[in-house]
Structure 1
Amino acid sequence: MSFDRSLKVLVVDDYKTMTRIIRNLLKQIDINDSDEAADGHEALAKLRAGHFHLVISDWNMQPMTGLDLLKEVRSDARLKDMPFIMVTAESKTENVVAAKQAGVSNYIVKPFNAETLREKITKVLGHG
């Protein structure tokens, strides 16, 4: 299963190494057009200024968490339908519930590999 070449992904994480890992995993599954943001505020600015098809965001960030970013995206008329995958190191039930209530498209628990990322992206883009 290959993705549309025009697919553009925004990776949001305040930990540079994790951003690089996710962008490398995206390349492994033939998604070559990605950008990054170091926090929720930067991500919102990029999302409002650019044209992205998918957000992959870490949960634990400062000053704006991934959950706060998700809520902002869902409350923005232009962005509200954008697929949003939350990445977290914790699989606590209450986190999953909070993310679902806020409108998350899917959820990935670290560590994960390219195949897991491919499966989650395929699901949120409605290809599978």
Structure 2
Amino acid sequence: MEKFAQRLKQCREQKKSSNPNWTQKFVADKIGMARTTYTAYENGTKLPPLDIVDNLASLLEVSTDYLLGRTDIKEPNNIDSNAEFEAWVNDPRSKILFKEFNESSEEQKEALLKMWEILKNQGKL
């Protein structure tokens, strides 16, 4: 609970350093709660429900795991990774490989995976 309170306050104050509007009242209003309730979260005397943790993380542009002290990585899911995955999924060559791999027998799948490893180890991939 202490870690959450520290990180919540730290994130808000970091935003406030570049924009003075980021007061406790400002955040409380954005989330739709009383300032005293939000202040209790920053002071560590009260823990918010999960939906509020999620809303706070979104507002502060950090991950819920960061706020909860589970990781030191502030950023929520890496947008670049998502874009990279979307590009791969939408590439017609990937669709062919995925479809054909799934339609292959187990023996063929094993052979393809072995060939892939050989190519990777030769520095071709």
How high is the TM-score relative to the length of structure 2? 0.26
Q: Which has the higher contact order (CA 8 A, sep 6+)?
A: 1
* Bigger radius of gyration among the two: 2
How high is the TM-score relative to the length of structure 1? 0.26
Give the structure with the higher percent helix: 2
